[in-house]
Every structure is written in structure tokens, then in C-alpha cells.
Amino acid sequence: MAVNLAEPEGLMPVPGVRLAAIRTGIKDAPRDDLALALFDEGTVIAGVYTQSAFAAPPVALAKERLTPRAWIVNSGNANAATGQPGRADAIAVCDAVARELGLQGDDIQPFSTGVIGERLDVSRICAAIPALVKDLSPDQWLGYGKAILTTDTVTKAVSKRVSVDGTDIILTGVAKGSGMIKPNMATMLGYIACNASVAPDVLEQMVQEVADGSFNRITVDGDTSTNDCFMLAATGKSEMAAITSVTDERYVILQQAVLEVAQTLAQAIVRDGEGATKFVTITVAGGHHAQECLEVAYTVAESPLVKTALFAGDANWGRFCMAIGRARVAKLAPNRVSLWLDKVQVASGGLMADDYTEDAGASVLAQDEFRGMIDLGRGDATETVWTTDLSYEYVRINAEYRS
């Protein structure tokens, strides 16, 4: 069902990173469900975490651990809405990993995705950790990427090579997410590592900026998980001198490369969105500022009426109107608003464009990928989000999962 998304190929090891995956059996499916990434000493790691008030215990713990050396991720159980016992479980798993690696518990960041409201089977996980650690190897990115999946239908991973001031830098990333996850949550996890050398505060800014241009610009159903995380690691295992300032021109080069990897992963999540039959880019231009462009873009991208029209291939200016009109934007002037679907102008100055024909609109929406471009006609800001249509299959997946 995924829209133009193939299994990843050609993943490259990142110097300073070793990975492993194993099956513990906490997930019913006969697939790996526990993944570990170990970083060489000196690696700098930064992350962004769910804004949910119901952030799961492992997320809270990962956020507190500012100088981690490893990520341990289980799928099959989100360890969410589990309170203090859930926190103790996450700590126990980290402690077991740390013992096996000769590190401290605080060196380990835990991540979980899957069923909510159920206790983690800590003993089953801990029993698998020695074998997991023994399997660590630089070329296990694909295995790591597979073990974190839940209802995803395709593994999401990509590598990229970039020259930063003459030094070859390798970036490899994996992600999971598919709208809503087994059985109840819309968890999105993203992990990118590179062998660049970056100061901690600089990496912190980079991960925020990259998230805002990638994982924070996608929506399948407008629902946000308790367990979302996006992590970025820089191992420093290269010849380059450290980037210690965001004004360093190498910052821009590396940030752009990380952004490209993150966008590919984020878009892969949308392409694999539950029930998705279309991959849709919504761009809102001509806003006073980014915030109002995003407000309009998300209102359109999350409107059930727009999404069902996209599913039906119906180039429906009325539904766009309705969604733009209800976005929380002050003093929007409808008579300055225009809409394009790819290169076809549907509306101009708030009215159906004179030369627009339903056939022209329908031919754009017959494609499995296209862009809706809304011009608010009142400023210079532009923002883009990526989304899917709303299909029968979305309802089936989310209504029938347990049956």
C-alpha cells in the first residue's frame, strides 16, 4: 500500500557506530523486536521528544540523559501510561544493557513503541541483552531499522555521503511510523548518525532545525504519539575539526545533508501512512510569517473533507476553501487567496480561476504524488508539510486492528 516506497538498499556503516537487533518475543510477530546502537566514546548526541502531556516513561528518561553512549529500542510495547512502575522498568532495561557494555545506566537512552498501558516484560528483554551485545557490528543498520517497526509495511532507512570541507562524512538514518502503531499509538521514531565532529550545543540546535524541516512537517492523521523521538548522533570519527559554532559555514553543509536524510525518512513515514494511496505535498506561501503558513497547511492537510477528496481524486476548491477559512489565522482576506495543484491554477483571488477545468484538476489528482500550493497573498513566508489522503483502508486498519 506504501506510495512509491521500496525496501532500502546500500546502507553505509557510520564510523563509530555499532548496532544489533534480536527477537525477544515481546511482540507476537516472529520478527526482531529489540535494537541496540552503541557509540564510540566522544560521540555527541542530541534529540527532540514528543510534546505530549502523556509522554511515556522511557521518553522522559531519554530526555534526562544528556551524554548517552547507546540507544536501546523495543517494539511491541510502548511502556506508556505505565507511571512510576513503567519508569522503573525502563531503568532496569538500561541498567542491564549498561552492565553488559561496561557502562553506567545513565549512559543508555531507552525508547519503546507498541501497545500502551501494559507493563514491559523486563525479564524477557534482559534475557536477550547478552546475545544482543555480542552481535554488535557496524553493518547492522538494516537490522536495527527492521526491529523498531510495528505496523509499518516497509523499512525506512537511507544513507548519504557528503564532503564537508574536504572530509568525507557518512550519514545513515532509520525511522519508523505509519500513522498509528500496534495497536493504539502513532509513534514515530527517527535515528540518524554521522561521523562528523560537532560540539554539543551546536548539535542541539541542528537537531531542532532539522526536525522542524522534516519530522515536524508530516501528518497522517493529526494525531501525536506519547513516544515520538528523533535522535541525532555525531561520532567525530573523521578527520574534520569540530564544528563549534552555527555560523561556521560547514554547519550549513552538514545541516543540509542531515536535513535531506531526515526528510527522506519523514516522507517515507507518510508514504507508508496507514491506508495512504497518495503522497501529497502542501505548500502555503504568501503568509505574514511561518506560523500562519503552518497553521493553514496543517488545517488543510488534516481536514477529513480535503483528505477524502484527495482519495477520490476530486480537485475540490470548495473543500480547500473551507479548510483555509477555518484555520486559526487572523484577518485572512479570501479575495487574495489562490490555489494551484502542481501547475494547474484552480483558484485566483478567492474565486475559481477563469481558465480552470475539472479535467485539468482531475488529471493532477490522478497521480499518486502531487503538490497543493496555496498562496495567501499577504507576505513572504512559505512553509511545506507532507501528508496522505484518507481512505477506507485507514478506517479498516484503525477500526479492525484488534479484531
- Bridge partners, residue 372, by sequence: 282, 341
Write down the catalytic residue from 43, 151, 155, 187. Answer: 187
Q: Which cell is 181 given?
A: 502503531
| CB 263 to its own copies: min, Å | 23
- The CA distance from 377 to 399, in Å, is 41
**185 makes contact with its own copies (CB under 8 A):** yes
**51 makes contact with its own copies (CB under 8 A):** yes
Q: Which cell is 255 given?
A: 545541516
The end-to-end CA distance of the chain, in Å, is 20
Give the binding range for its own copies (CB under 8 A) out of 93-101, 132-140, 160-168, 331-339: 331-339
* 343 vs 402 by CB, closer to its own copies: 402
* 236 vs 350 by CB, closer to its own copies: 350
Q: What is the 3-state secondary structure (H, E, C) of 193-230?
A: EECCCECHHHHHHHHHHHHHCCHHHEECCCCCCCCCEE
Give the binding range for its own copies (CB under 8 A) out of 104-112, 115-123, 139-147, 231-239: 115-123
* 144 vs 317 by CB, closer to its own copies: 317
Give the contact letters, 301-330, x = binds to its own copies (CB under 8 A), - = no. Answer: --xxx--xx-xx-x-xxxx-xxxxxxx-x-
Instruction: Name residues contacting its own copies, limited to 344-383 (CB under 8 A).
Output: 347, 349-352
Burial of 399 (C-beta count, 10 Å sphere; 0-12/13-18/19+): exposed
Is 187 catalytic? The answer is yes
Cα separation values, 279 from 60, 144, 230, 400, Å: 33, 26, 22, 24
Give the contact letters, 208-247, x = binds to its own copies (CB under 8 A), - = no. Answer: -------------xxxxxx---------------------
Q: Which cell is 271 given?
A: 508514504
Judged by CB under 8 A, how many residues of this single chain contact its own copies?
A: 66
**111 makes contact with its own copies (CB under 8 A):** no
Long-range contacts of 347-351 (CB under 8 A, 24+ apart): 347/317, 347/320, 347/321, 349/377
| CB 186 to its own copies: min, Å | 7
Task: State the Rg of the chain over Cα.
Answer: 22
Q: Which cell is 362 given?
A: 482531475
Instruction: Name residues contacting its own copies, limited to 55-84 (CB under 8 A).
Output: 55, 78, 80-83
* Contacts to its own copies by CB under 8 A: 51-55, 78, 80-83, 115-117, 180, 183-186, 221-226, 303-305, 308-309, 311-312, 314, 316-319, 321-327, 329, 331-335, 347, 349-352, 390-392, 394-396, 398-403
Which residue numbers are catalytic?
187
